């Protein structure tokens, strides 16, 4: 299982980090050791003093595929959930300054939390819906997103990603985060909602 992540997929998030808007999807991969299953706590890493939350829609791949056209993308997805792409922002900034890869800041152990996945019965119709989601930190809403605001929708992402990486059963696709990312501290409680239904609680330790 691999975790495929998409960066800079919401305009407002691009603007809040003062990044340049990409002309094609920005894709990076996290190893399976980054996966943090629901029910586990997130332990603040010792190598960073500025870890940020980034809540995202996550889709699960249902079968092997390569060079998938967008019109057939629904045939390769069977479930949806919420994820948090934890980012060591201070370490990322240092790596970016030197023009180095970001894996240490983005793909460290437990950096990809995933809620329980919900089965999608009619994926083709589901892809046409506007999916809302949000994140609360200590009871306050810090991020709110809608899938229709993504620059590249899930079908487009599957088409692009599958040109470069063979998708395999069980792979997870993080689709990007909306504006409102921010730091976490030990003791914080994060709560994610998908279509107005709470799907996870996570404690920072």
Any idea what the CATH number is for the domain that residue 119 is in?
3.90.850.10
Confidence at residue 134, expressed as pLDDT on a 0 to 100 scale? 98
In this structure, are strands 112-114 and 35-37 parallel, antiparallel, or unpaired?
parallel
Q: What is the pLDDT of residue 158?
A: 98
Would you say 120 and 79 are in contact if contact means Cβ atoms under 8 Å apart? yes
DSSP string, 124-179: HHHTTS--EEEEEETTEEEEEEEGGGBSS-HHHHHHHHHHHS-B-TT-EEE----S
Q: Tokens 């990322």 belong to which residue? A: 92
Tokens of residue 117, six digits: 């996945």
Instruction: Indicate the number of domains in the chain.
Output: 1
CA-based end-to-end distance of the chain: 26
- Give the per-residue pLDDT at 14: 64
**Distances 88 to 58, 59, 130, 156, 204 between C-alpha atoms, Å:** 20, 24, 30, 28, 14
List the beta strands (DSSP E) in the chain: 3-7, 26-30, 35-37, 51-53, 55-61, 77-85, 87-88, 112-114, 118-119, 132-137, 140-146, 172-174, 182-183, 189-194, 197-203
Please tell me the total number of residues recorded for the chain in this structure: 205
pLDDT at 21: 79
Q: Is-contact 42 205, C-beta < 8 A? A: yes
* CA–CA gap between residue 6 and residue 203 (Å, rounded): 25
- pLDDT averages per 10-residue partition of the chain, 205 residues: 94 72 92 96 97 98 98 97 98 95 96 97 88 98 96 96 98 96 98 96 97
Residue 15 has a pLDDT of 72
Domain that residue 150 falls in = 3-203
């Amino acid at each position: 299982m691999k975790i495929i992540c998409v960066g800079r997929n919401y305009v407002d998030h691009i603007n809040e980090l003062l990044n340049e808007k990409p002309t094609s999807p920005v894709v990076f991969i996290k190893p399976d050791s980054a996966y943090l299953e629901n029910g586990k706590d997130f332990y603040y890493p010792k190598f960073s003093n500025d870890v940020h939350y980034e809540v995202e829609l996550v889709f699960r791949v249902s079968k092997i595929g390569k060079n998938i056209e967008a019109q057939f993308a629904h045939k390769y997805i069977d479930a949806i959930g919420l994820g948090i792409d934890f980012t060591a922002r201070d370490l990322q900034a240092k790596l970016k300054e030197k023009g180095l890869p970001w894996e240490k800041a983005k793909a460290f152990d437990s950096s990809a939390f995933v809620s329980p996945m919900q089965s999608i019965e009619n994926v083709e119709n589901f892809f046409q819906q506007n999916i809302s989601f949000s994140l609360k930190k200590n009871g306050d809403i810090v991020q709110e997103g809608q899938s229709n605001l993504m620059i590249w929708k899930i079908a487009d992402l599957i088409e692009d990603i599958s040109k470069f990486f063979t998708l395999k059963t069980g792979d997870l696709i993080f689709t990007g985060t909306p504006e409102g990312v921010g730091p976490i501290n030990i003791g914080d409680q994060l709560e994610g909602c998908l279509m107005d239904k709470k799907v996870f609680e996570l404690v920072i330790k």
